Amino acid sequence: MDILRKVQDYREKQNALKWEGTFADYLELLKEHPYLAQSAHSRIYQMIKDEGIEEEEGVRKYNFFSGQLFGLEEALEKLVEEYFHPAARRLDVKKRILLLMGPVSGGKSTLVTMLKRGLEKYTLTDKGAVYAIKNCPMQENPLHLIPQHLRADFEKEYGIRIEGNLSPLNQLRLEEDYGGRIEDVEVERIFFSEDRRVGIGTFSPSDPKSQDIADLTGSIDFSTIATYGSESDPRAYRFDGELNKANRGLMEFQEMLKCDEKFLWHLLSLTQEGNFKAGRFALISADEMIVAHTNKTEYRSFISNKKNEALHSRMIVMPIPYNLKVGEEERIYRKMIEESDMKDVHIAPHTLNIAAMFTILTRLKESKQNNISLLKKLYLYNDQDVEGFSDQDVVALKKEFSDEGMSGIDPRYVINRISSTIIRKEMQAINALDVLRSLKDGLDDHPSITKEQKEDYLDFISVARKEYDELAKKEVQKAFVYSYEESAKTLMNNYLDNVEAFCNKAKLEDPLTGEEMHPDEKLMRSIEEQIGISENAKKAFREEILIRISAYARKGKKFEYQSHERLREAIQKKLFADLKDVVKITTSTKTPDEQQLKKMNEVVATLVEEYGYNTQSANDLLRYVGSLLNR
């Protein structure tokens, strides 16, 4: 019953927000809160802005889109700052259709859905409140009641500019029901709802032979013709087209460029003049943002047709490319998995990361710079450090191709292949190899992949596989080292003793014989070489370690095994190199002895407890790494 109580609470909250009064009462509200009269474009911009804006590395991030759209920060910043913001300020872009252009499954529909759901919630808030003439099928702006000759005076007094004319239906109601007394016209607060067709409209093309223009502009109610005597009587007309119902809010044109021409021409006057023609009436005013979406192929076909020039000039085209960051792509997969019935299947660490790596490689373009491979580019775009490259290089790379990210593998393909693997094999745990294998198998059935692309994609799968091999070895290395934690600490302390003696030009004392010894150069180099420290750079590296130890000592902290990232990595690699034979035997022998079995169980436990594996995926990882080491 808890859910019913929550439903009741929500209903009561909504009822408490309801407001009814006269137009005179509404004007009093406007004096206090002028923002109540804002345009549809302004309301959408304020809705986004009110959620908060953060700036990171020169790119604005809008909290409104967080959690749903990933890796599209730059595209969203352009959308908000080049369309929503100027449109909210009544600049000329307000008179344009917003056309989102991008590849399939790139986030266009998600973006529009977020705007719709956002408006529904926003109109429940004080800042997003919308008021309309009561019982108007188009939820018309009450300010349309102000006669044209008084609007300049109204703007001086209230600071609000009025755009649009009173609709035929409300003109008739004003005269017949209120005797022309605009102050008595009833006004109510409304709440946008796509389900109830209030303030949000959606139009999707169907068969041109059967689809009627009435779907957009409304139609004559023939059952009332006898009552009202004329088709030009607004009471004999249903103002229930999508353009009518989307008034004051947002109108979505799905697959707009597939629409029949007669539907598109209605948008010309709506975008430019803020009105459209319906029935035997004068032009009907409408204040709504029109957003459509399409792909690159359809868009090119559309603009190549000279007949579409007038409509094309009334569009603002905003590219919505695929995400190009591995980390963000992984978040997309996690979101899609959480929304499915796959969420109970164990997905081994790095699985989605490796899948994302393959996907991003298919979307990147080869740089004209010889020293940048696609893999380096992938790392740079993912905000990872690549030796010899800076943030400026990343900026230059992004400017190299304006259409990068407009093609490649889409997220749905990856999720479909993961789903296929789970269902076909009835697996309760999958790893990166399972997914890569499934991605490879699915390329033959992908309808839009050419023979040349397939060859490239197979190469990308090989690149991702090599990256996984390295990750897998490191993962097992860390797990073994964790089990040999004391060995790692001992090795580090031994190294630090020798480094201190080397830097101070001193000698060490043999713990057994008490004899003085020179620092063990062989030991130090065997560790430093693990992370590529050259002979010339060894002195600087050792001095840096001592400085770090001194800094810790001054702060009263103890220098631990994990206190220096590169030293920790070097110790791990050195220890793993020494343990490699143990790893080979332990992971590959079919009949391990008691000691080996104990070691195996310790490592499996570490992988499960510390690194997010389950028992099955941990054992799979160990067997795979064993096979790699035995090659």
Residue 4 or 387, more confident: 4
In a domain, 15, yes or no: no
Residue 585 has pLDDT above 70, yes or no: no
Average pLDDT over residues 297-301: 85
Within 332-379, strands assigned E span: 346-347
Predicted local distance difference test score (pLDDT) of residue 133? 96
Q: Which long-range contacts (CB under 8 A, 24 or more apart) does 48-56 make?
A: 48/80, 48/84, 48/118, 50/122, 50/127
* Stated pTM of the model: 0.82
CATH number of the structural domain spanning residue 90 = 3.40.50.300
CA distance 204 to 181: 41
Q: Which of 80-89, 241-250, 294-303, 358-367 has the lowest mean pLDDT?
A: 294-303
Domain stops at, among 466, 500, 515 = 466
* C-alpha dihedral sign at 251, 256, 260, 261: positive
Percent of the chain with pLDDT over 90: 47
My answer on whether 251 and 159 are in the same domain is yes
CA distance 259 to 219: 19
My answer on whether 286 and 344 are in the same domain is no
100, 120, 410: which is closest to 253 by C-alpha?
100
CA distance 518 to 523: 12
Give burial (CB, 10 Å; 0-12/13-18/19+) of 468: buried
Predicted local distance difference test score (pLDDT) of residue 205? 77
* Confidence tier at 207 by pLDDT (50, 70, 90): low
Domain stops at, among 262, 291, 319 = 319
For residue 39, give both structure tokens: 């345009």
In a domain, 11, yes or no: no
**Which positions ≥6 away from 331 have C-beta within 8 Å?**
70
My answer on whether 279 and 148 are in the same domain is yes
* Confidence tier at 88 by pLDDT (50, 70, 90): very high
**Which backbone phi and psi does 237 adopt, to 5 degrees?**
-125, 140
In a domain, 394, yes or no: yes
| Residue labelled with tokens 């990361």 | 353
In a domain, 1, yes or no: no
Asked if 117 and 202 count as a contact pair (C-beta separation under 8 A), the reply is no
Average pLDDT over residues 10-35: 93
CA distance 285 to 274: 6
Q: If residue 261 lies in a helix (H) or strand (E), which one and from where to where?
A: helix 261-273
* Nearest-5° Cα angle at 291, 275 to 18: 75
422, 462, 426, 456: which is closest to 438 by C-alpha?
422
Summary mean pLDDT of the chain: 88
| CA 465 to chain CA centroid, nearest Å | 26
Average pLDDT over residues 101-126: 93
Domain region containing 368: 326-466
Average pLDDT over residues 558-565: 81
Pairing of strands 284-285, 275-276: antiparallel
Residue 1 has pLDDT above 70, yes or no: no
| Cα separation values, 463 from 165, 407, 440, 450, Å | 62, 19, 13, 20
My answer on whether 31 and 137 are in the same domain is yes
Q: If residue 186 lies in a helix (H) or strand (E), which one and from where to where?
A: strand 186-190
* 258-290 pLDDT per residue, tens: 777 777 777 778 888 888 888 788 889 999 999
Q: Which of 134-138, 187-191, 319-323, 597-601 has the lowest mean pLDDT?
A: 597-601
Number of folded domains that form the chain: 3
Asked if 321 and 103 count as a contact pair (C-beta separation under 8 A), the reply is yes
Residue 509 or 321, more confident: 321
In a domain, 12, yes or no: no
121, 111, 98: which is closest to 47 by C-alpha?
121
Residue type, position 363, single letter: R
Q: Which residues pair with 133 in a beta bridge?
A: 187
Give burial (CB, 10 Å; 0-12/13-18/19+) of 76: buried
* C-alpha dihedral sign at 303, 306, 307, 312: positive
Average pLDDT over residues 313-333: 92
My answer on whether 446 and 523 are in the same domain is no
* Confidence tier at 121 by pLDDT (50, 70, 90): very high
In a domain, 540, yes or no: yes
Could you count the other beta carbons within 10 Å of the beta carbon of residue 82?
13
Pairing of strands 97-101, 289-294: parallel
My answer on whether 617 and 529 are in the same domain is yes
My answer on whether 236 and 340 are in the same domain is no
Predicted local distance difference test score (pLDDT) of residue 127? 94
My answer on whether 499 and 621 are in the same domain is yes
In a domain, 175, yes or no: yes
Residue 414 has pLDDT above 70, yes or no: yes
* Confidence tier at 438 by pLDDT (50, 70, 90): very high
Predicted local distance difference test score (pLDDT) of residue 371? 82
* Nearest-5° Cα angle at 554, 550 to 557: 90
Average pLDDT over residues 145-165: 94
Q: Which long-range contacts (CB under 8 A, 24 or more apart) does 516-525 make?
A: 523/494, 523/495, 523/498, 524/495, 524/498, 524/499
My answer on whether 265 and 119 are in the same domain is yes
Average pLDDT over residues 430-450: 88
In a domain, 2, yes or no: no
Predicted local distance difference test score (pLDDT) of residue 425? 62
Within 92-161, strands assigned E span: 97-101, 130-133
Domain stops at, among 417, 436, 466 = 466
My answer on whether 158 and 280 are in the same domain is yes
Burial 108-129 (b: 16+ CB within 10 A, else e): bebbbebbbebbbebbbeeebb
My answer on whether 232 and 372 are in the same domain is no
My answer on whether 478 and 462 are in the same domain is no
